[in-house]
Structure 1
């Protein structure tokens, strides 16, 4: 099963023809380097990317020239999906780690939507989940302490990883530097460093260079005040409606 297919089947059931169509988008992959830029902001929209291996991010530039990370992208995510109807990219896309991507022309999204109602619904679901991540981060930035925000984001990332690979909360991949973590959460590197030291001293967790070691999972979950409803893959009856349409 292709990674693209696995991502779409989190939302809808696909038949053989739909699976073949998605597999046709992953016939070859391109290796990408750590920190490699996939496109610049304001570049003409051409290719989107299926992230097959590695972690990536999208970046917006503020009016005063600073960079702000908007999305953290994990394997299976479609990089640039929210911008495929734009003439030019409003964000920059870059790799965080080395990895591989499958480029495909953004016009192919039209072919996917035209070929299959279930695939169209899956694309809508994918976009809405990306928006839900951004909305949740905005809300917790207003109502939570900095420490809670850090823990919430780490736990969110763990649950996202759990959807695509076998992971354990006791120790999971997290190749996000303190600088990038601060950028994502709108906190200074000094503040992030202080929070991480406190979490280690309190025996909650320790952030290593490429992974997080959790000493006390119940305390992590309690302090993060995490409600994962916004991460749900359920599409509230649409799956059943699609089954009836097929027949």
Structure 2
């Protein structure tokens, strides 16, 4: 939240009050199923997760890749039923909280309400960027762009280096995210390794040539910016 707005001590304590009973979760554990009643949202304290939606022909499409610090289900808290399924990718730790608590947060604090809006808009920006990249870039560039995007998202919440960073996403899951077959993803990774650009290990990415990776990805990270267009300053004047 403090990436977007400056928080008072009381606002920090309010957020902390929602994280008193964290729950350990297993790899591949379901947090909710699609079409079930919206009840609890989750703060992802540790580990990686994703949301998945079924298509009309029965295929599954990964909608969001969620990293530590993300709120799982925030895009759906006003729905009566979940439109996605939420599942852990790795083992981790989550903090469940009733979706009604979002109302309490908004009522208690304008800065927190702005931070929630900023969070939701960034999630939408990720989906929009992926759609644009899919339409206008090669499959190889799509893979590299997504890896860079994930790296910069991680960098906002923990210390990471581009030379080697955590990425516990299987080739099959990555293909599902990008709409590419596992075979195609495998070929791309083999070519990238042969070209001495990078190597995909089981749980991390090793980058041999960062400048080439960045150039091939044609990455512009403006959509990942935490800037809230002067709202911080406006909020400071209101305090």
Distance 1:63 1:136 in 2: 23
Out of 156, 177, 190, the residue aligned to residue 184 of structure 1 is 177
Name the residue aligned to 1:149.
Answer: 142
Name the residue aligned to 1:5.
Answer: none
Name the residue aligned to 2:235.
Answer: 242
Is residue 2:55 matched to residue 1:34?
no
- Once the two structures are TM-superposed, the CA of residue 10 in structure 1 deviates from its matched residue by 0.3
Name the residue aligned to 2:3.
Answer: 10
Task: For 1:85-164, list aligned pairs within 5 A.
Answer: 85-164=78-157
Is residue 2:192 matched to residue 1:223?
no
- Once the two structures are TM-superposed, the CA of residue 220 in structure 1 deviates from its matched residue by 0.4
Q: Deviations over 1:180-224 (max 9, x none)?
A: 000000000000000000000000000000000000000000000
Distance 1:36 1:131 in 2: 25
Distance 2:142 2:129 in 1: 10
Identify unmatched segments of 5+ residues in structure 2.
none
Distance 1:20 1:140 in 2: 40
The structure 1 segments of at least 4 consecutive aligned residues displaced by more than 6 Å after TM superposition are none
Name the residue aligned to 2:47.
Answer: 54
Name the residue aligned to 2:204.
Answer: 211
> Scaled by the length of structure 2, what TM-score is found?
1.00
Name the residue aligned to 1:4.
Answer: none
Give 3-state SS (helix, strand or coil) of 2:83's partner: coil
Give 3-state SS (helix, strand or coil) of 1:26's partner: coil
- Once the two structures are TM-superposed, the CA of residue 28 in structure 1 deviates from its matched residue by 1.8
Name the residue aligned to 2:188.
Answer: 195
Is residue 2:176 matched to residue 1:175?
no
Distance 1:28 1:206 in 2: 38
Distance 1:95 1:27 in 2: 21
Q: Deviations over 1:83-114 (max 9, x none)?
A: 00000000000000000000000000000000
Q: Deviations over 1:15-65 (max 9, x none)?
A: 011010000001121000000000000000000000000000000001111
Name the residue aligned to 1:3.
Answer: none
Name the residue aligned to 2:65.
Answer: 72
Identify unmatched segments of 5+ residues in structure 1.
1-7
